[in-house]
Amino acid sequence: MNQSLPYRTAFHFQPTKNWMNDPNGMMYYKGWYHLFYQYNPYGALWGNIVWGHAVSKDLVHWKYVDDDAIVGGPKWYDLLGAWSGSTTFLEDGTPALLYTGWSNVSSVVQIQTQNLALPVDKEDPLLRKWYKSEANPVMVAEPWMDATKYRDPTEAWKGKDGLWRTLIGARLTDNVTGTSHLYKSKDFVNWTYSHDIHMINGTGMWECPDFFPVALKGKSGLDVSVSNGMVKHVMKVSLDNNKHDYYSVGTYNEQTDEFKGDSPSIEVGIGLRYDYGKFYASKTFFDKKTNRRILWGWCNESDSDNDALTSKGWSGIQALPRQIWLDPATQVDLIQVPVEEVDGLHRDKVSRNGFTLTAGAVMPMPGVHGPQLDIQIKFLKPKLEQSNALFEGSDVAALEAQLTCSRTGAAHRGYLGPFGVLVLADEQLQEQTAVFFYLQVLKDGTWKGLICSDQSRSSMQDDVDKTVYGTYVRVLESEKYLSMRTIVDHSVVETFAQGGRTVVTSRVYPTVAVDQAAHFFLFNNGSQDVQVHSFNAWRMESVHMEQLQF
């Protein structure tokens, strides 16, 4: 079997070949969305990192621009590679890129520096060529900082004093405290270290920080510099220790330039995650065209390096771009939903409302089939009383939830659940990826809900990661349904539970349940029937990504 094809995605962003990791410097500029990404032009594993570049009119159909928007060298400050960074719009509308240079100052000492790149022709909507500032590096680590743990500048924001501010992800020299160094500048070229805006002991290196305002009400996004009584701020960090992206909603004090999470148990790096599966090094940008804040994140592979090198020839995809906003009901969660442009790929709708998913059922749905699907289901919430001890958001709770998901697995027979979907399944169910709700019934008779994504039987291959992912999902008393949306694209399964309050993304590599041999089933392994309020499914059309012709 040609292993490269069944696993290439049909509507997620990925380069034609080679390695890709973090999304960088996304923006909307003169009619085009721009996505840059960490890319190895020479191979399917990480190394030789440059900024690849693609553009799109709609966030779904992409054209590759080039593989060398920013390349390391020839000067010392980024000789070994151009690492992650962000775009900021200067006063005159020019997009300016801040990025990390990886450099060898000597044969034994390697360090990270922060650098500035600007468009050669800012009238070019495609922003094809970039030049590096003569002032580079524009930031170097202070003597007391660890210069090897000093990277990934955020989009800069402007304070009321007229100064630009950016954050650099870092780890203190105690080796355990994750932190974010705040730098300020009048002219975007000369930057001075001010202080650390926030730090949390025990979290380790903070990669790819992201810091932005969200409106207290409504779904609209905000420009990064907006700060007033009608907004909260979000700080997101990517923990190098465990490769998860954590966010915290809190307060940014403009006077002291400090950030504090609203709840100590959901602080930066220890509380809520954007995604409880494979999703890392994410970044948001403000889409000026539609006033949305949009999140991009990298989904690494779960198969072996050997597969990347010998059969696939590529590694890494970007998750679907997600619109995010503050959950009006909880004020601590962010809601994430694939941008509505993705719905333009819907074909062959299948709908069925108001039916029972009986205890023990494994049920095909006629017309729902194949490796490219969007499944949206609302289950009626069971009559049992809900627990007040809802998910607190702490990492301890997340660990407990993940353990419960693994112990439970799709094959477990519970009381209320597991119930949900089997995707990328063969007819004999030897291979299947199960995404399900499981309602944990507590001693006092109340329940807590979990959403799990079980890869344990996703593939007959041995050398792929088959971890079961999952977490508690916050279900409000006022909510009548347990809802899930699962999007399948060959080797990726993205699930948005409770309208996007909780998200889990998996990478899977079936061997027989591929292409037209990939089947779909609803299942209920609990001892109680479950009521399906609504079921809607679509086949997803493929997107052909092309090289831009100049």
Would you name the residues annotated as active-site residues? 22
Q: Which of 7, 22, 237, 239 binds ligand DQQ (CB under 6 A)?
A: 22
CA–CA distances in Å: residue 331 to residues 19, 84, 295, 476, 532: 37, 30, 18, 13, 29
List of E strands, 32-105: 32-40, 50-56, 62-70, 81-89, 95-104
Q: Which of 207, 245, 395, 489 binds ligand DQQ (CB under 6 A)?
A: 207
Residues 238-267 that bind ligand DQQ (CB under 6 A): 238
Distance in Å, CB of 467 to ligand DQQ, minimum:
19
Distance in Å, CB of 115 to ligand DQQ, minimum:
12
Distance in Å, CB of 205 to ligand DQQ, minimum:
8
Residue whose CB is less far from ligand DQQ, 164 or 279: 279
Residue whose CB is less far from ligand DQQ, 151 or 233: 151
Residue whose CB is less far from ligand DQQ, 100 or 113: 100
Distance in Å, CB of 548 to ligand DQQ, minimum:
24
Residue whose CB is less far from ligand DQQ, 152 or 454: 152
Q: Which two tokens stand for residue 408?
A: 């439970």
536 contact partners, CB below 8 Å, separation of at least 6: 349, 350, 351, 375, 376, 377
Q: Which of 9, 18, 38, 506 binds ligand DQQ (CB under 6 A)?
A: 38
H/E stretch holding 268: none
Q: Which two tokens stand for residue 148?
A: 């090897």
Helix or strand or coil: residue 311? helix
Alpha-carbon dihedral angle through residues 333, 339, 345, 351, given to the nearest 10 degrees: 40
**Count residues contacting ligand DQQ (CB under 6 A)?**
13
H/E stretch holding 309: none
Q: Which of 12, 53, 149, 151 binds ligand DQQ (CB under 6 A)?
A: 151
Residue 251: which of 267, 262, 236 has the closest Cα? 262
Q: Which of 55, 70, 167, 208 binds ligand DQQ (CB under 6 A)?
A: 208
H/E stretch holding 287: strand 280-287
Residues 267-286 that bind ligand DQQ (CB under 6 A): 281
Residue whose CB is less far from ligand DQQ, 154 or 459: 154
Helix or strand or coil: residue 280? strand
Distance in Å, CB of 361 to ligand DQQ, minimum:
42
CA–CA distances in Å: residue 466 to residues 3, 41, 301, 533, 546: 18, 29, 12, 31, 33
Residue whose CB is less far from ligand DQQ, 397 or 492: 492
Residues in the chain: 550
What DSSP state is assigned to residue 139?
B
Distance in Å, CB of 80 to ligand DQQ, minimum:
11
Q: Under the criterion CB under 6 A, does residue 395 sit at the interface with ligand DQQ?
A: no
Q: Which of 56, 100, 203, 471 binds ligand DQQ (CB under 6 A)?
A: 100
In degrees, rounded to 5, the angle at the alpha carbon of residue 61 between the alpha carbons of residues 60 and 64 is 120
Residues 39-98 that bind ligand DQQ (CB under 6 A): 49, 83-84
Q: What is the CA radius of gyration of the chain?
A: 23
Distance in Å, CB of 20 to ligand DQQ, minimum:
10
CA–CA distances in Å: residue 122 to residues 95, 131, 410: 8, 11, 53
Judge if the upstream peptide bond of residue 95 is cis by omega within 30 degrees of 0: no
Q: Which two tokens stand for residue 293?
A: 């804040």
Torsional class of 148: left (φ above 0), alpha (ψ -120 to 50), beta (otherwise): alpha
Residue whose CB is less far from ligand DQQ, 151 or 378: 151
Residue whose CB is less far from ligand DQQ, 13 or 438: 13
Contact indicator for 521, 364 with CB cutoff of 8 Å:
yes
Distance in Å, CB of 93 to ligand DQQ, minimum:
27
The site for ligand DQQ (CB under 6 A) is made up of 21-22, 38, 49, 83-84, 100, 151-152, 207-208, 238, 281
